[in-house]
Structure 1
Amino acid sequence: MLDIHHDKTNTDSFKMEGKCPFGGDRIGGVEGTPPTLSDWYPNRLKVELLHQNGPQANPLGEDFNYAEAFNSINLEELKNEIKSFLTTSVDWWPSDYNNYGPQMIRMAWHSAGTYRIADGRGGAGEALQRFAPINSWWDNGNTDKSRRLIWPIKQKYGSSLSWADLIVLTGNCALEIMGFPTYGFAGGRQDAWEADNATYWGPEVVHDMSKAKSPDEMVSRDKRWRGRNGNADYDLENPLAASHQALIYVNPEGPYANGDPLGSAHDIRVTFTRMAMNNEETVALIAGGHAFGKSHGMVPAAKIGVAPEIAPMEAMGLGWHNPQGKGNAEDTMTNGIEGSWTPNPMQWDNDYLTNLFKFDWEQTKSPAGALQWTPVDKNAPKTPDAHIEGQMNDLMMMTTDIALKVDPEYRAVCEKFLNDFDAFTQAFSKAWYKLTHRDMGPRERYLGPEKRNENDLLWQDPIPLADYTIIDAADVAELKKAILATDISVSDLVFTAFSSAVTHRQSDKRGGANGARLALAPQKDWEINRRTVPVVAALQKVMADFNGTDKDSKGGKQVSLADLIVLGGCAALEKAAADAGVPTEVPFTPGRRDTTQELTDIEMFTWLKPVADGFRNFLDNDFNQLAKHVAPEEMFLDKAQLLSLTSPEWVALTGGLRAMNANYDNSKHGIFTDREGVLTNDFFNVLTSTDYEWKKSDSRGMTFWLKDRTSGENRYSATRADLVFGSNSQLRAVAEVYAGKDGHQRFVKAFVKAWDKVMMLDRYDVKVAAR
């Protein structure tokens, strides 16, 4: 979610007031620096987060067509150039074993490995590894060198090849030159142009953790784990995925560097599950990735220079300066652990698992002082040094490797792979493809000749292609009449259409109305969607009447349930706008298809279930736990950002939904009108009126009454998701526009535009066709 967390001194209250944090002669939050707005008012709602990475930051311009540019590349030639580079070496950063492949696999893995299923943020899709904070996480040590090494290739292809695509493709090429058959590659990732300062990566202060003297003290300082002390079922705060701040997955030395393999297995399972991987995929990725290359730990961490984001100017964006010896090659320092997992680190084979299970392992320490493991049997195979010719070194395992051996479930997967190398190869190939493509969304976004089109990849949320003729404008008009002729209210139609579309996440392009998953488990069973069930049933009857029993009737035309749900909302809004005196045509683009229950991964879609949804005035029963850290309006902002809404779109969309009573339970919160179901601007008129005053109706300030100043009578009720549009200065400024004398028509136009945007967010079939 967005980085909108803050500590509340009273968890039973949602007071959002700030206070001056400075006194005396200080002029800033840090001595000698001017204070920021967030310094002055740390609990303010950061509405500006909706306008991140805007067109002003993009040097390519809004008209640049990346798909067209990428498709102009000869992918085979590009891959050959990358592979040729990988087997070279430069003096300023020599390659291990004269092969850059392993460090490029790590670069690609860490770029993709920030993905998390809870909110879809992270991943390789925008090459955010180039920017803070990710570029300066300790776990990304020396990935800055990897990107700088492939800059000449990026420079040659310019805007036709995004950093995001190049990073992943380079990882694929690295695997291939070492004998591994990759499952495929799809381009289509478009770069971000500024740092992501919005995503919430965790509550810890990194320096607080680094000051801890022992693992026990680290536990006491750690704020992201719930119930870790003495509780076998401890869990990670949502939506986080990494086990600790500034890591991609877990600490390779074990939780808090305590060397505990079973504790490490627990953290691995939680972390990889949060990153959408099951047990088999987890083992395949770890065992597959550790078949190559080595880890670096020749210099104590205290001797390494600062991260890229705070490095001196003359470093030109490179960090982690190593002052010892050569500063690289045999003196390289990355994560502190030193050594290789296999005797042949440049070849795809099963030696990692063979050696892990064949030998007993004992804890030792690297030259940098990090915990690691070496074989007890001194006759175990050795591994050649990456730089010193003729030198042979002991094999190495991390605590996270030993975890795969001691955890019963992981061990069973390892033994399966030990006995069937082909199955291991296939599992790693598909898991790597999933890892590096998970955040790309539907296959319509995939580019290039190596993309995979199979329907067996359930994580891609497949929707079967239409084998019928799509409805045309005349059919749309006929269906609108049929829908409005039912006994479904306009409010219910709008609520159902919006509920179908609002699951979309711009972060990983999942969810949305396409597929009609609103009618399938798990979405049909969510409490927030109960109001949609009878509406969907009625629309299914309209669909059956239109489609008929003969598939070839009506010239082969059919309407999908997905289209019909959205069309019902559009028809209802046109009626509501006309009833308000502002006749309006609501855009509708047919072509959505229906998917099946078999093609719907229930577990993965359960992650889309909202804990809070201000659009529909919903708070889940689990929200009370979350409420200790975040207020409902902050979750509302988070959802608006996942829908890629601007602040005016957010305001207009909410006002229209309130006019239509799109509350999940038909409650009257925020329904500031006596003309429910009519597209008025009454919500804004009441919200900005000085004839009333608002009073808390509960001790925590979650709900409110609007009292008439003259009579003292309660007029309307509201939640924090309603009043935020009058209390927040930036949102109120927009609300006042829609409440003005000339605001009604402007509001209806803005609402319809925002509505259509949300309905079309997942229509990548249309967006790709338009490119």
Structure 2
Amino acid sequence: MDAKTGSISGGCPFHGSVQTRSLFGRTNRDWWPDSLNLEILTQGGKSPDPMGEDFDYCEAFNALDYNALKADLTALMTDSQDWWPADYGHYGPFFIRMAWHAAGTYRTGDGRGGAGSGQQRFAPLNSWPDNGNLDKARRLLWPIKKKYGQHISWADLFILTGNVAIESMGGPVFGFGGGRKDVYEPETVYWGTEEQWVNEGVPTRINPKEGKALDNPLAAIQMGLIYVNPEGPGGDPHDWEGMARDMRETFARMAMNDEETVALTAGGHAFGKAHGAAPAPTFRKAPESEALELMGFGWLTDPEEIEKGHITTSGIEGAWSNTPTQWGGNYFRLLFKYDYELVKSPAGAWQWQPINQEYEDMAPDARDPSKRVPTMMTTADMALKRDPEYRKISERFRDDQAALDDAFARAWFKLCHRDMGPKVRYLGPEVPAEDLIWQDPVPAGTTPSQADVDAFKAKVLQSGLTVSELVKAAWASASTYRNSDHRGGANGARVRLEPQRGWKVNDPEELDKVLSTLDGLRGSLSMADAIVLAGAAAVEKAAADGGYPVKVEVTTGRGDASQDQTDVDSFAPLEPFADGFRNYLRTKADVKTEDMLIDRANLMGLSVPEMTVLVGGLRALGAVSGNSGKGVLTARPGVLSNDFFVNLLDMGTHWSVVEDSGEEEYVGRDRKSGAEKWRATRADLIFGSNSQLRAVAEVYAEDGNREKFVKDFAKAFAKVMDADRFDLTYAKYHK
């Protein structure tokens, strides 16, 4: 296979260059300005999904003939096609690489990437240098996708095919969970700021000598790579320390520790070969920029070159082991048995070749099994031998095949499922019974009676806790949810556990007071339910005090997670650097504060109106971090009113930058008297400055829409509180 191969440092998740950058970096239109633009057809919220709103993929997947599909995939592994022949007569390694690169874009920083929606089909991923020739792997699967249709998404098919490939070559598999629903357009993801791809001389994103760290939330070392450059940092094969550093950092940023990194690298490279049979300039461009008649193909398309096996992908040429279609321990055996010398592939890439390799240790030729050729290692592979910590793990795996089997199976499962969220979202007959800590397990809860709920809410409102305190605690618990990897949220009440209870944005001392009080009042309710219900009760009181009573429809039946069920390190990336909803910003960043608000709203699955009404409502309720009062544009904080929008858009107020705030704080003064009226931030003023957001803000500021504002806020607030209730929404699929 051609797969190219960590702790997350603190600080701004958007920190990178000195100058302020775009939240999304370069877009597909930047890379391919002449590509067909379909955005005009999706304006106004029109969906590009041909399946329609009523299509239930989970239900369709449960009706799949799973065993028949696996049998067809197994048969495909050795059904070599003339238009793209299988190396060694087996497509298994090719499909493992396809699955790996579908899942391997996942990063912990924002939970984006991964295999969850089949994004490998679309730009820019379909044209990344690291995904070279995977267009052929997807076309090989088309007859099977065509046969099973709506019952298997491309997203699920990519991963299941990788599993079947491993099994077909005798490798260990931990399990498979289906349920990934396809999307039909590229997702907007920040992949970096570079204007060139990795093979165009782009410098590495991390270089301690230059004081340059890997830009969060990115996990790859260079544009167009899944992880690292296998030739070495910046293509330098002699920098093995930098190679180990880059591997450790990039793998950690996609949730892998040292043991998992070694197991995945060795396990993946036990199969197949890298491709660097000819200089890359002899081949065509990537699929997204190729001629119409190639029908979405790119890179190598010449039949004569394909027939000869003159294939170049990574530029490195050769197999890692002498048994490239059979699972076993030969990867580590060869790595430690031989000394290696640096050579160049036919395509001109640096790689390492065994010195005086014995004939029986050579690999078969990919197209002619009667021939034997030397094996090879990349600089990334050599790091497993040279780095002291990696070497200890590698030697243990070399000497204990069962340990490698288990470690690889588990790490592969994690790689392919890390972005799926709670285990309840997994479907199919091969879902493992074991609960894994990275799945953020939460014990099942018990649904309380309505009488118990009503009694608790009444006690909360008589407890002395303020509306602001109750709303802030509920928001701190629920707003951690990310729809990118479905982590966080109120279920489990992890806001009372480390590390969340100590996050500065949550006002820890105030939060402890609220949680302690709720714990004493909740009776048989779970803490997770108590926190959410208390917030709902506070919103209902605030709405009634404003003259527009409303019911906040939140669910109950949540469970409480324990500290032992919480991986502290893995939750650290969920800590907000900025939360515009609570007007919180740790320090000035390289991305505009309002951009980070939009990014957070996107991760929470909110629309523009939902984001707008929530910001305005939370400000009116005084629910700002640190109780700073910034953005609380009302004379009656704690009352749910549209005062934020009314006063923000009031032409009697003149706004100016507060000196020494770095354009992060503003003062609003009366135009006539000059008296100070309000303090606000960029996250506030953007609703009056940006034309689209102002259009929505004006709706909520209108006199006739006061009740609408309250109802919309209550609905959006409930949506945030219930965003992670997969235990309810998926229950019907597990009967």
Give the structure-1-normalised TM-score: 0.89
Matched, 1:200 2:180: no
In the superposition, relative to structure 1, how do residues 270 and 33 fare at CA in structure 2: closer, same or farther (>3 Å)? closer
SS of aligned partner of 1:327? helix
CA contact (8 A) 1:340 1:395 kept: yes
Match of 1:565 in 2: 531
Instruction: Tell me which of 537, 562, 582 is aligned to 2:548.
Output: 582
Question: Letter of the aligned partner of 2:459 in structure 1?
Answer: A
Instruction: Tell me which of 367, 389, 396 is aligned to 2:346.
Output: 367
SS of aligned partner of 1:598? helix
In the superposition, relative to structure 1, how do residues 718 and 72 fare at CA in structure 2: closer, same or farther (>3 Å)? same
SS of aligned partner of 2:373? strand
Matched, 1:450 2:433: no
User: How far has the Cα of 1:53 moved from its partner?
Assistant: 12
User: How far has the Cα of 1:63 moved from its partner?
Assistant: 1.1
- Tell me how far apart the structure 2 counterparts of residues 298 and 55 of structure 1 sit (CA, whole Å): 46
Instruction: Tell me which of 111, 119, 123 is aligned to 2:114.
Output: 123
Match of 1:188 in 2: 179
CA contact (8 A) 1:443 1:453 kept: no
Q: Deviations over 1:692-728 (max 9, x none)?
A: 1101112421100111001011100001111111111
- Tell me how far apart the structure 2 counterparts of residues 142 and 85 of structure 1 sit (CA, whole Å): 18
SS of aligned partner of 1:171? helix
Matched, 1:434 2:400: no
Stretch deviating more after TM superposition (112-121 or 317-326): 317-326
Match of 2:62 in 1: 71
- Tell me how far apart the structure 2 counterparts of residues 611 and 576 of structure 1 sit (CA, whole Å): 29
RMSD of aligned alpha carbons: 2.5
User: How far has the Cα of 1:328 moved from its partner?
Assistant: 5.0
- Tell me how far apart the structure 1 counterparts of residues 44 and 344 of structure 2 sit (CA, whole Å): 44
Match of 1:665 in 2: 626
Stretch deviating more after TM superposition (299-308 or 328-337): 328-337
User: How far has the Cα of 1:228 moved from its partner?
Assistant: 3.5
Q: Deviations over 1:259-316 (max 9, x none)?
A: 1322111110010000100000000000000000111111111112110111111111
In the superposition, relative to structure 1, how do residues 15 and 419 fare at CA in structure 2: closer, same or farther (>3 Å)? closer
Match of 1:110 in 2: 101
Matched, 1:493 2:493: no
Instruction: Tell me which of 543, 550, 558 is aligned to 1:592.
Output: 558
Instruction: Tell me which of 126, 146, 153 is aligned to 1:162.
Output: 153
Matched, 1:463 2:453: no
Match of 1:258 in 2: 236
Question: Letter of the aligned partner of 2:698 in structure 1?
Answer: E
User: How far has the Cα of 1:743 moved from its partner?
Assistant: 1.6
Matched, 1:482 2:467: no
User: How far has the Cα of 1:32 moved from its partner?
Assistant: 11
SS of aligned partner of 2:644? helix
Matched, 1:295 2:257: no
Matched, 1:238 2:216: yes
Question: Letter of the aligned partner of 2:642 in structure 1?
Answer: N
User: How far has the Cα of 1:353 moved from its partner?
Assistant: 0.5
Question: Letter of the aligned partner of 1:610 in structure 2?
Answer: P
- Tell me how far apart the structure 2 counterparts of residues 323 and 433 of structure 1 sit (CA, whole Å): 36
In the superposition, relative to structure 1, how do residues 520 and 268 fare at CA in structure 2: closer, same or farther (>3 Å)? same
Question: Letter of the aligned partner of 1:203 in structure 2?
Answer: T
SS of aligned partner of 1:705? strand
User: How far has the Cα of 1:211 moved from its partner?
Assistant: 4.8
Match of 1:508 in 2: 485
SS of aligned partner of 1:755? helix
In the superposition, relative to structure 1, how do residues 109 and 53 fare at CA in structure 2: closer, same or farther (>3 Å)? farther
Q: Deviations over 1:325-357 (max 9, x none)?
A: 423552111111110011111110000001101
Instruction: Tell me which of 585, 588, 595 is aligned to 1:619.
Output: 585
Question: Letter of the aligned partner of 1:569 in structure 2?
Answer: G
In the superposition, relative to structure 1, how do residues 430 and 211 fare at CA in structure 2: closer, same or farther (>3 Å)? closer
Match of 2:657 in 1: 696
Matched, 1:249 2:227: yes
Q: Within 5 A, what are the aligned runs for 1:235-384?
A: 235-259=213-237, 260-323=239-302, 325-327=304-306, 330-379=309-358, 381-384=361-364
CA contact (8 A) 2:300 2:311 kept: no
Instruction: Tell me which of 410, 430, 448 is aligned to 2:390.
Output: 410
Gaps of 5+ in 1: 17-27, 37-47, 213-217, 547-557
CA contact (8 A) 2:14 2:217 kept: no
Percent of counterpart pairs with the same letter? 50
User: How far has the Cα of 1:206 moved from its partner?
Assistant: 1.2
SS of aligned partner of 2:564? coil
CA contact (8 A) 1:93 1:329 kept: no
User: How far has the Cα of 1:389 moved from its partner?
Assistant: 3.7
CA contact (8 A) 2:92 2:166 kept: yes
User: How far has the Cα of 1:378 moved from its partner?
Assistant: 3.4
Q: Deviations over 1:113-161 (max 9, x none)?
A: 0000010000000010000001100000011100000001100111111
- Tell me how far apart the structure 2 counterparts of residues 471 and 30 of structure 1 sit (CA, whole Å): 54
- Tell me how far apart the structure 1 counterparts of residues 447 and 246 of structure 2 sit (CA, whole Å): 48
User: How far has the Cα of 1:10 moved from its partner?
Assistant: 6.5
In the superposition, relative to structure 1, how do residues 59 and 658 fare at CA in structure 2: closer, same or farther (>3 Å)? same
Question: Letter of the aligned partner of 1:240 in structure 2?
Answer: L
- Tell me how far apart the structure 1 counterparts of residues 18 and 563 of structure 2 sit (CA, whole Å): 46
CA contact (8 A) 2:172 2:408 kept: no
Instruction: Tell me which of 497, 509, 531 is aligned to 1:520.
Output: 497
CA contact (8 A) 1:162 1:190 kept: yes
- Tell me how far apart the structure 1 counterparts of residues 146 and 308 of structure 2 sit (CA, whole Å): 26
Q: Number of aligned pairs?
A: 709
Match of 2:613 in 1: 652
- Tell me how far apart the structure 2 counterparts of residues 52 and 162 of structure 1 sit (CA, whole Å): 25
User: How far has the Cα of 1:5 moved from its partner?
Assistant: 8.3
Question: Letter of the aligned partner of 1:285 in structure 2?
Answer: L
User: How far has the Cα of 1:464 moved from its partner?
Assistant: 1.6
CA contact (8 A) 2:133 2:300 kept: no
Match of 1:41 in 2: none
SS of aligned partner of 2:352? strand
CA contact (8 A) 1:243 1:250 kept: yes
Matched, 1:680 2:641: yes
Question: Letter of the aligned partner of 1:138 in structure 2?
Answer: P
User: How far has the Cα of 1:379 moved from its partner?
Assistant: 2.6
In the superposition, relative to structure 1, how do residues 31 and 444 fare at CA in structure 2: closer, same or farther (>3 Å)? closer
Question: Letter of the aligned partner of 1:618 in structure 2?
Answer: Y
CA contact (8 A) 1:55 1:61 kept: no
- Tell me how far apart the structure 2 counterparts of residues 426 and 30 of structure 1 sit (CA, whole Å): 41
- Tell me how far apart the structure 2 counterparts of residues 722 and 333 of structure 1 sit (CA, whole Å): 52
Question: Letter of the aligned partner of 1:178 in structure 2?
Answer: M
- Tell me how far apart the structure 1 counterparts of residues 419 and 177 of structure 2 sit (CA, whole Å): 12
SS of aligned partner of 1:157? helix
Question: Letter of the aligned partner of 2:192 in structure 1?
Answer: G
- Tell me how far apart the structure 2 counterparts of residues 511 and 563 of structure 1 sit (CA, whole Å): 15
- Tell me how far apart the structure 1 counterparts of residues 51 and 375 of structure 2 sit (CA, whole Å): 48
Q: Deviations over 1:75-110 (max 9, x none)?
A: 112101100111111100000111110000000000
Q: Within 5 A, what are the aligned runs for 1:139-150?
A: 139-150=130-141
SS of aligned partner of 1:718? strand
Q: Deviations over 1:589-635 (max 9, x none)?
A: 10110010001000000111111111111112xx34xx2x3111111
CA contact (8 A) 1:659 1:679 kept: yes
User: How far has the Cα of 1:686 moved from its partner?
Assistant: 0.6
User: How far has the Cα of 1:30 moved from its partner?
Assistant: 11
Matched, 1:132 2:111: no
Match of 1:19 in 2: none
Match of 1:723 in 2: 685
Match of 1:769 in 2: 731
CA contact (8 A) 2:343 2:353 kept: yes
- Tell me how far apart the structure 2 counterparts of residues 313 and 389 of structure 1 sit (CA, whole Å): 37
User: How far has the Cα of 1:647 moved from its partner?
Assistant: 0.3
Gaps of 5+ in 2: 1-12, 24-28
In the superposition, relative to structure 1, how do residues 563 and 52 fare at CA in structure 2: closer, same or farther (>3 Å)? farther
Stretch deviating more after TM superposition (512-521 or 478-487): 478-487
Could you list the structure 1 runs, at least 4 aligned residues long, displaced by more than 6 angstroms after superposition.
4-11, 28-34
User: How far has the Cα of 1:194 moved from its partner?
Assistant: 0.1
User: How far has the Cα of 1:55 moved from its partner?
Assistant: 5.9
CA contact (8 A) 1:5 1:200 kept: no
